[in-house]
Structure 1
Amino acid sequence: MSRTGIVVLGSVLLMVCFGCSDPNEAKRVRFEMEGRLLKSGSDNQLILSEHAGATSMWNQTGDEEIFDDLSSGDLIHVTISEIAESYPGQTTLYHLELIEEGTEEDLPQDELDTLHELGWTFE
């Protein structure tokens, strides 16, 4: 094979390898967290964690009905992206698992009061 052919073949292989990869994939860090679900009146639901406080979750699980059979107060285990520093925090939800059923009495009242003051509504 000629020198030009090798350069062209190498260039094509590089474009295929790098052109098909997601440049953001390496930046996607995932974390696991447990907390109580707080079903809000918006599209994003909240998880209340002892360590992270209230965090709004943007559902990217591929299952639009993932929250339908859950209730506020349920203990859940989630896989999420990094949490944006705001109040409430914001994150992307990739996976959710129910650990145990709960009730609204399992939710911390101080977090609920703060969220109400900020205009959040709950189901």
Structure 2
Amino acid sequence: MLGAALGGDGRNLANLATCSRAANFYVKGEKGLGHNMRYFEEQVVAAIGLGQRVRYTVTPQYRGPRTVPVTFEMKASGVTKYGTPGINLYEVVPNSVYSEKYGWRNLGVVFHDNKIEPMGAMS
């Protein structure tokens, strides 16, 4: 998965996964989730701007047959133009939303009527 800030195509389904706003970007007024995916994209863009060669991956992690990720594994490693180590990031970003009523809830572990949802091939 590659964010738009790094040239990712938001129309390519292979490059998309369902994620909460808090997991993907800064949310004004919401209690802190910690680092989000945008934070890592900004770090990678800055490293590239300094001339680093960067390997950057975002891997959605699923629980069982669910179609919505529980977390996103974020990795970035770089090498400077002088061949020395550059950026080195690793973080697991939870796919969570916050509400005043329920607090933090992870989108990848939703249950409805005691059944996990959503799952593949649901009608």
Which TM bucket (shorter chain)? under 0.3
TM-score by length of 2: 0.22
More helix by share: 1
Larger radius of gyration: 1
Structure possessing the higher relative contact order (Cα contacts under 8 Å, 6 or more residues apart): 1
